[in-house]
Homo-oligomer: A and B are copies of this chain.
Amino acid sequence: MTEKYFWLDKEIQEMLPEIIATRRDLHKFAEPGWMEMRTTSCVVNELKDLGIDAILGKDVCAADSRMGLPSKEELDRHAEWAMKNGADPDILQLVKDGFTGAIFTLDLGPGPVIALRFDMDALGVFETQDVVPKSVTDGVMHACGHDGHTAMGIAAAKLLYKHRDELRGKIKFIFQPAEEGVRGAKSIVAAGHLDDVDHVLALHIFPHNGSSAKLRLTSPHGRGSLATTKLDFDFRGKAAHAGIDPQNGSNALLAASTAIMNMHAIPRYGLEPTHINVGILKAGTGRNVVCDQVHMEAETRGGSTEANKYVEEYAVRVAESAAAMHGCSVDIEVKGAAPVMNNSEELVEMAKDLGVEVEILEATGNGSEDFAYFAEKVGSALYMQLPCECAAPNHNSNFDFDESVLATGVELICKMVLRLMEKE
């Protein structure tokens, strides 16, 4: 790395207190996926002075491609909460029906088109950490660092805007809703926002693993994350008295049990990992009533997009056959999905030369991440893991991170943008 971006470090350090303050505000007012109403409002508020056009509301995500939406009641209830907790009423009007998220485009004329993805949503975790101001909402917590990602996105936008005269091309700052449960990314891709993009980047805070590296990347020969599909199954049968006339019922719990056994027994796919899990099941109304309703939540994973598709399609066939077997019907809904994610070789090579220690993971990833939809669409993609000191693992009720990582993240993503623009 040349020294030409010497100014970056100093400017970021000056901004750090502000970045931290934003992160803490977002942390306190944590919002789950598709309900990032106050969060979106905050992002817009921070960036509105730049005078660059924001894409908001129904223009962000293709409505039909959004997965795992909360119910109308939940959205309405949360809109009231957002209003009480400081969301801008005009923005709220745009985002309240499951249309959260925002895209800011800094257009600097001919040159490469670069997209930066920042996710914004919190998790359904009961917070126990007590360093950062706690979430005001019981059972909703930023336990995966997306508060930090959003704060870094705001900072990067301000910084790159400030230096816009030194840049050429176009930068899209994508503030994505509903990454948890891999629900949001697909609908942004479906809306066409990645169609003209040459390179796409994202960053994510993780606990370091003892290494002192500041940047961690999956080898382009490895696999950054597993493909996955999140499926809900609702079996419908017919109730009957279990002692008097069970033959007049249609036993949805027999159908579901058969489905569970056979889903877990789906034959393997060569040497590829192929996971399936039925994690939640709720059934029935009385011990002496033939069960007529089963709700079941499951997920599949695959070491390749094809392997995951194989398991998903097999699971669907299992559910439909098990329902037919017992005279029941089944509704199946996809609540989230992501393909396999891969870093591109070119961007990994470029990132090795950013002036910080880089760790390359040869081992393949076992999680899932819907940034994979962006990567799949664009091809030239980089998922930048930011290893840092954490109080607990991601998704843990005690999760927290060393906020100095926010400076590192802004620096690294800005440097990648500068290098990509300079290169062409």
CB-CB under 8 A from A317, the residues of chain B are 324-325, 327
CB within 8 Å of B: which of A264-309?
Answer: 264-265, 267-275, 277-291, 294, 297-299, 301, 303
A289–B284 Cα distance when bound, in Å, is 22
- Across the interface, do A271 and B273 meet the contact criterion of CB distance under 8 Å? yes
Q: In the complex, are the beta carbons of A265 and B267 less than 8 A apart?
A: no
Contact in complex: B286, A280 (CB < 8 Å): yes
A362 to chain B, nearest CB (A): 9
B residues within 8 A CB of A282?
281-283
Contact-residue size bin, chain A (C-beta under 8 Å from the other chain): 35 or more
A89 at the interface (CB under 8 A from B): no
The minimal Cβ–Cβ distance linking A302 to chain B, given in whole angstroms, is 10
Of A77-85, A158-166, A250-258, the segment with at least 4 beta carbons within 8 Å of chain B is A250-258
- Whether A281 contacts B279 by the Cβ 8 Å rule is no
**How would residues 36 to 57 of chain A score, 1 for a CB under 8 Å from any chain B CB and 0 otherwise?**
0000000000000000000000
Residues of B within 8 A of A274 (CB): 268
A325 touches which one: B244, B279, B321 (CB < 8 A)? B321
Q: Which residue of B lies closest to A335 (CB)?
A: B287
Interface presence of A318 (CB below 8 A): yes
Q: Is A260 located at the chain interface by the 8 A CB criterion?
A: yes
Chain B residue numbers with a CB within 8 Å of A277 are 242-243, 246, 287-290
Interface flag for A216 (CB, 8 Å): no
Q: What is the bound-complex CA distance between A327 and B321, given in angstroms?
A: 10
* Given contacts A281-B253, A321-B322, A273 and B265 within 8 Å (CB-CB): no
Oligomeric state, in copies:
4
Chain A 349-380 near chain B by CB (<8 Å), digits 1 or 0: 00000000000000010111000000000000
Query: Does A100 sit at the interface, judged by CB under 8 A?
Result: no
Counting CB contacts under 8 A, is A333 at the interface? no
Cβ of A22 under 8 Å from chain B:
no
B281 and A284 contact, CB distance less than 8 A: yes
Contact indicator B321/A275 (Cβ below 8 Å): no
Partner of A322, one of B254, B280, B325: B325
Whether B271 pairs with A364 at a CB distance below 8 angstroms is yes
Please state if B275 and A242 are interface contacts (CB–CB under 8 Å): yes
**A310 on the B face (CB < 8 A):** yes
- A245 on the B face (CB < 8 A): yes
Task: Say whether A228 faces chain B, with CB atoms less than 8 Å apart.
Answer: yes
The verdict on A398 contacting chain B, using a C-beta distance below 8 Å, is no
A246→B273 CA distance, assembly (Å): 12
In the bound complex, how far is the Cα of B196 from the Cα of A163, in angstroms? 70
Q: What's the minimum C-beta distance from A385 to chain B, rounded to whole angstroms?
A: 16
Which A residues lie at the B interface, using CB under 8 A?
Answer: 226, 228, 230, 242-247, 249, 251, 253-254, 256-258, 260-262, 264-265, 267-275, 277-291, 294, 297-299, 301, 303, 310, 317-318, 321-322, 324-327, 364, 366-368
Known: A256-B257, A287-B299. 9 other contacts (CB 8 A): A243-B275, A243-B367, A246-B275, A254-B261, A254-B265, A257-B261, A262-B326, A277-B287, A280-B284
Among all A-B residue pairs, the 10 with the closest Cβ atoms: A242-B277, A264-B265, A321-B325, A246-B267, A280-B284, A279-B287, A287-B297, A257-B257, A257-B260, A271-B273
